[in-house]
A and B are shown apart, each in its own frame.
Chain A
Amino acid sequence: MRQAWLGIVVGVAFAGAATADEFAKLVVNGEIEMVTRTQAPDHMEAIDEIRSGWTFRTGETQTLQMDDFDNPGMVFVEQAVEAWAVAEGGMGKSCADCHGDVADGMKGVRAVYPKWNETAGEVRTLEMQINDCRTTRMGADEWSYAGDPMTNMVALVSSVSRGMPVNVANDGPASETWALGKEIYYTRYGQLELSCANCHEENYDNYIRADHLSQGQINGFPTYRLKNAKLNSVHSRFKGCIRDTRAHTFSPGSPEFVALELYVATRGNGLSVEGPSVRN
Chain B
Amino acid sequence: MAEGVRARVKAPATAAAGESVTIKTLISHPMESGQRKDGDGNPIPRAIINRFTCVFNGETVVDVMLEPAISTNPYFEFEATIPEAGDMVFTWYDDDGSVYEETKSIAIG
Task: Please report which residues of chain B, range 18-52, place their CB below 8 angstroms from some CB of chain A when the two chains form the complex.
Answer: 24, 26, 28
- Given that A69-B26, A70-B24 are known contacts, is A229 also in contact with B72, CB under 8 Å in the complex? yes
Q: Is the CB of A69 within 8 A of B24?
A: yes
Task: For A78, list chain B residues within 8 Å (CB).
Answer: 6, 28
Closest to A78 in B: B6
Can you sample 13 A-B contacts with CB below 8 Å? A69-B8, A69-B10, A69-B24, A69-B26, A70-B24, A72-B73, A75-B28, A75-B73, A78-B6, A78-B28, A79-B4, A229-B71, A229-B73
Interface secondary structure of A, over-half rule: loop
Closest to A70 in B: B24
A171 to B24: give the CA distance in the assembly, Å.
47
Task: Please report which residues of chain B, range 38-92, place their CB below 8 angstroms from some CB of chain A when the two chains form the complex.
Answer: 71-73, 75
Closest 9 CB pairs of A and B: A69-B10, A75-B28, A69-B24, A75-B73, A229-B72, A72-B73, A229-B71, A79-B4, A69-B26
A69 to B75: give the CA distance in the assembly, Å.
10
Further contacts, 8 of them, CB under 8 A, given A69-B24, A69-B26, A229-B73: A69-B10, A70-B24, A72-B75, A75-B26, A75-B28, A78-B6, A229-B71, A229-B72
Q: How far is the CB of A2 from chain B (nearest CB, A)?
A: 24
Closest to A69 in B: B10
A78 to B28: give the CA distance in the assembly, Å.
10
Closest to A79 in B: B4
Task: For B73, list chain A residues within 8 Å (CB).
Answer: 72, 75, 229
Task: For A75, list chain B residues within 8 Å (CB).
Answer: 26, 28, 73
Closest to B28 in A: A75
Contact pattern, A 229-270, Cβ under 8 Å of B = 1, otherwise 0: 100000000000000000000000000000000000000000
Task: For B28, list chain A residues within 8 Å (CB).
Answer: 75, 78
Closest to A230 in B: B72
Q: How far is the CB of A46 from chain B (nearest CB, A)?
A: 40
Interface centre among A69, A70, A79 (most CB of B within 10 A): A69
Closest to A229 in B: B72
Contact pattern, A 208-236, Cβ under 8 Å of B = 1, otherwise 0: 00000000000000000000010000000
Closest to A75 in B: B28
Task: For B24, list chain A residues within 8 Å (CB).
Answer: 69-70
Task: For A79, list chain B residues within 8 Å (CB).
Answer: 4
Task: For A229, list chain B residues within 8 Å (CB).
Answer: 71-73
A229 to B71: give the CA distance in the assembly, Å.
9
A79 to B26: give the CA distance in the assembly, Å.
15
Task: Please report which residues of chain A, range 71-129, place their CB below 8 angstroms from some CB of chain B when the two chains form the complex.
Answer: 72, 75, 78-79
Task: For B75, list chain A residues within 8 Å (CB).
Answer: 72
A229 to B28: give the CA distance in the assembly, Å.
12
Q: How far is the CB of B75 from chain A (nearest CB, A)?
A: 8
Task: For A72, list chain B residues within 8 Å (CB).
Answer: 73, 75
Task: For B4, list chain A residues within 8 Å (CB).
Answer: 79
Q: How far is the CB of A79 from chain B (nearest CB, A)?
A: 7
Contact pattern, B 1-17, Cβ under 8 Å of A = 1, otherwise 0: 00010101010000000
Q: How far is the CB of A185 from chain B (nearest CB, A)?
A: 35
Task: For A70, list chain B residues within 8 Å (CB).
Answer: 24
A79 to B75: give the CA distance in the assembly, Å.
18
Closest to B8 in A: A69
A65 to B6: give the CA distance in the assembly, Å.
21
A147 to B86: give the CA distance in the assembly, Å.
44
A78 to B26: give the CA distance in the assembly, Å.
13
